[in-house]
Amino acid sequence: MTRSVASSSPTRPATVHDVARLAGVSAQTVSRLIKGFEGIRPGTRERVEAAIAELDYRPNQAARLLRTRKSKRIGALAHEMFEFGPARLLRGAANEARRSGYSVNIVGVDGDDELAIEEAFRSFEEEQVAGIIAVTLTDSMRRVVERRPLDVPIIVDPAETLGGGQTISQTGAAMAADHLLQLGHRRIGYLGGPDGWLPSRERRSQFLADVRAGGGQIVAEWSGDWTPASGDRAGGVFDPSANITAVFVANDAMAIGFIHRLFARGFDVPGDVSVIGFDDIAEAAYMNPPLTTVRPDFEAEGRIAIGALLAEIEHHPRGDFAHPGGELIVRSSTASVR
């Protein structure tokens, strides 16, 4: 007895869908088995493998067929997608993709959970996205991205589309260092973000290098977690006997907490110590005093990343991209050293 299926003809190679119909499973199940996913029931695996043999299905042929059906979806993988920087970057990326006729599927994951990151990539594969952009802010996320074999273009980190130039974090940290040095500050403190975040390390290394190159000294360092509460804790251990005249805080949220605690302890900003932040969040202009900060163009970074990704998807020359840069916003929380 023969089985009536919509199988391939002599002129058309079998597809994933042919195999799925013959095996009585979904095309996603077939795709996952082919790609080595182990969490498939033995009975299901046997039916799929039998269908593959009966139809003489060739995964490489099917892959070529699937690639001819041009997807208009882009996958975006993000850690802490609601934090200021990642949120702005994703907004710029989504807007640029939409202008080019693509949609963006954003998946937020815990950047330290490698299993969750792997699952996110599997979901992108099943959706057959045309390309992927990964905002790899943590070391764990970057490790997963770099070891995964992918058959679609991927931008591992938007900053890397800039062709080896400085990242937004590095450019902004250099602006902060130059501003404080121009005001005459030489004994400077630094309040950084988590060590496991790549932007945190970039801001720290650039700021420390530029301060030292300009004749300054990093007198004290504190570590935070991007929250106002961690800035408040750092402000609680600020030691006036160290004669620190200025502090660079790696984001505005921590700067708000830091200044809050300094005022609670009787210090004046900028009279006793100048404070500069990073991000230019909406609240920065309405603090007391208004916060001097670096305004990075995260949205431009997102647009550039999508431009580079689409060039690979559509096989166009990538070309050169102008650095998105940033802007120093000088307000009342910094002043010349007294």
Structure tokens at 37: 């996913």
Structure tokens at 171: 């450019």
Backbone angle region of 163, left / alpha / beta, with phi > 0 → left and psi within -120 to 50 → alpha: left
Question: Can you name the residues that pair with 188 across neighbouring β-strands?
Answer: 218, 246
Nearest partner of 204 among 215, 213, 194, judged by Cα: 194
CB-CB contact of 276 with 333 (8 Å): yes
Q: Which residue has the tokens 């043999």?
A: 53
CB-CB contact of 231 with 249 (8 Å): yes
Q: How far is the CA of 166 from the CAs of 175, 202, 323, in angstroms?
A: 12, 9, 8
User: Would you mind telling me the total number of residues written for the chain in this entry?
Assistant: 338
What's the CA gap between 312 and 193, in Å, rounded? Answer: 33
Tens digits of pLDDT across the chain (338 residues): 333 344 444 456 777 778 888 999 877 677 777 766 666 788 888 898 898 888 888 765 445 444 445 678 999 988 777 778 888 989 999 999 999 999 998 888 877 777 888 888 888 887 889 888 887 677 777 777 777 666 788 887 666 665 556 788 999 999 999 999 999 999 999 999 998 888 899 999 999 999 999 999 999 999 999 999 999 999 999 999 999 999 999 999 999 999 999 999 999 999 999 999 999 999 999 999 999 999 999 898 889 889 888 988 887 776 666 667 789 999 999 999 98
pLDDT at residue 12, rounded to an integer: 64
Output DSSP code: residue 10: T
Question: How far does the chain reach from its first CA to its final CA, in angstroms?
Answer: 96
